[in-house]
Structure 1
């Protein structure tokens, strides 16, 4: 099989972890007789520096013509004082919108060998296996107006939480579809006791739920959901929520695995290429030092193989290799126990490839 992959290394540690993932994909190609063609493009801070905008039109066109997109990370303090429309994160939001990637899938499953890396007790996190489904192209991050202005001689600011009913319906349906091949439970997270948008969200969830009578639907307020993720994460199967709530909850859930460096994600739409990225940031404090944990990006390529290319055996092989590397005690600095040996980015990548072969 031949596939075209657009690579957006981005900023900070992005180029390092993306290069690690490409090496793993090349190994998969050799092992399973596939050909992956990689085309590089610019997004985020590096695009601002080189092109003057966080999302060049050329990048959009290259992504649209590919079978899938692999992203490293965007942002960093270098660009923190730029106007909002020129911030690196605008590039990330823009490419999601351009590709109509309305569903962000963030699996959270703990490795027993990493239980000591989490700040939570072992009995709380052992056996955690949940999927957070985050709406990705609506809500506060895209609503208009979003601006500062002056009223009665005083500066005021407004952000708009905007959703069409159809946008809510499609993301909730995606959650039910995923739950149908998992443990058949959907937790819809909202703030219906305060927000009108959440009350509509809850109504739509009830309507969609009637189409899936064999799947349990529960509603949970977002503040309670944040607490329950730490108190009893094993109660969850599929969690679905709007854009900002999903952003916050999925980062919180990373601590169930011990590190942001462990969680992959997939952003998918109805058709066209999906976008795959680790959920960690650009980590500018360690950029260029060969210290970054590449496992989340490598795991993101497994999601790419599974969801965009239908390569189930290949995806399983990557995930198995990651598990075996961890079970055999290999660690990067972010997940290492005190006094234990630490692998750098390249060494950890080489171990995953060794177990793949």
Structure 2
């Protein structure tokens, strides 16, 4: 039996609550006997700052580097608003992405039929929606230098963030998008702002060349990022795979999340380059935040975190069939009318975090027979 190491970083706010439901699914997978997933739990974010004075310790980072995959809950909250920029909870997540060299962020936006009426758009716009946003994660304006605020005197300050991309960074993220498209509906939209940004000009040039050289079988469309944002709310089903940079990917994926009904429904995977054995370092996390206003109340939606674990099964643990089971179980529970508060609908039963986790396990038991 293959043994995989999974590092769990529940984090802050509702993170520990939703991660507990992932542990329930891990136990179910282990009980099947097709693979063994060994888990270890550690700190990241505000709780790590409280314990160590930093958002992630070197020891925790070492465990992340040694693991086959990392699962993260959520980080941050108003408790740490006064913490220095370098020690803020989000710095733990950024270090994980940087040190693990996770350059490809995959954010699927799927609208389950049972939730089509919960979307902010009309049913005909989102029913059957299945988009994959591929966001470059380690370059761009979030990491470019210089990044600073300078005091100019006289009550004036100047803030600088630098948008930087090199050819190889664009090539590797575009290749991920094209490869994914070949497994889906064979269409890629490459989104940038070449009309006003030099990085957009280079992005367009590199993606066009890569497409011509290696992926001419995939349909490629170039789209300006502002138009892409508009089209996502106009007719989102025109998209299959969207590939874009770090900043635009951050915004477009959050916009796409609302098409599905709730941020609580959106999983994500962040992947590094494949090594000689085909193994990729990987971090899996829900798109939603730490939601401190509902933390500890047992009402958080665990579906995004459980769906993120399904992505780990698929991309890190070579358990695609089990991943399919987990995703089908989520759909089944929603079809049966179970809802957490964020996706509550008339005529449906509103349940809490633990109840939703147990309902998904029950569905898994039925489907695995």
| TM bin (shorter chain) | over 0.9
Deviation at 1:32, TM superposition (A): 4.2
Deviation at 1:277, TM superposition (A): 0.5
Deviation at 1:188, TM superposition (A): 0.3
Map residues 315-326 of structure 1 onto 2, 5 A cutoff.
315-326=323-334
Deviates more, 1:271-280 or 1:5-14: 271-280
The answer to whether the 8 A contact 2:30-2:37 is kept is: yes
Deviates more, 1:26-35 or 1:270-279: 26-35
Aligned length: 357
Corresponding residue number in structure 2 for 1:8: 9
Corresponding residue number in structure 1 for 2:172: 170
Map residues 273-312 of structure 1 onto 2, 5 A cutoff.
273-312=281-320
Deviation at 1:42, TM superposition (A): 1.2
Residue ranges of structure 1 left out of the alignment (5+ in a row): none
Map residues 77-96 of structure 1 onto 2, 5 A cutoff.
77-96=78-97
Deviation at 1:127, TM superposition (A): 1.5
Residue ranges of structure 2 left out of the alignment (5+ in a row): 275-279
Corresponding residue number in structure 2 for 1:259: 262
Deviation at 1:293, TM superposition (A): 0.2
The answer to whether the 8 A contact 1:12-1:76 is kept is: yes
- After superposing on structure 2, the runs of 4+ consecutive aligned residues of structure 1 that deviate more than 6 Å are none
* Cα separation, 2, equivalents of 1:318 and 1:18: 15
The answer to whether the 8 A contact 1:32-1:314 is kept is: no
Corresponding residue number in structure 1 for 2:191: 189
* Residue 216 (structure 1) aligned to one of 210, 215, 219: 219
* Cα separation, 2, equivalents of 1:147 and 1:339: 52
* Residue 159 (structure 1) aligned to one of 154, 161, 178: 161
Provide TM-score, normalisation by structure 2: 0.95
Corresponding residue number in structure 1 for 2:229: 226
Corresponding residue number in structure 2 for 1:116: 117
Corresponding residue number in structure 1 for 2:239: 236
SS in 2 for 1:248: helix
* Cα separation, 1, equivalents of 2:122 and 2:32: 39
* Cα separation, 1, equivalents of 2:346 and 2:364: 28
SS in 1 for 2:349: coil
* Residue 321 (structure 2) aligned to one of 306, 313, 316: 313
Corresponding residue number in structure 1 for 2:202: 200
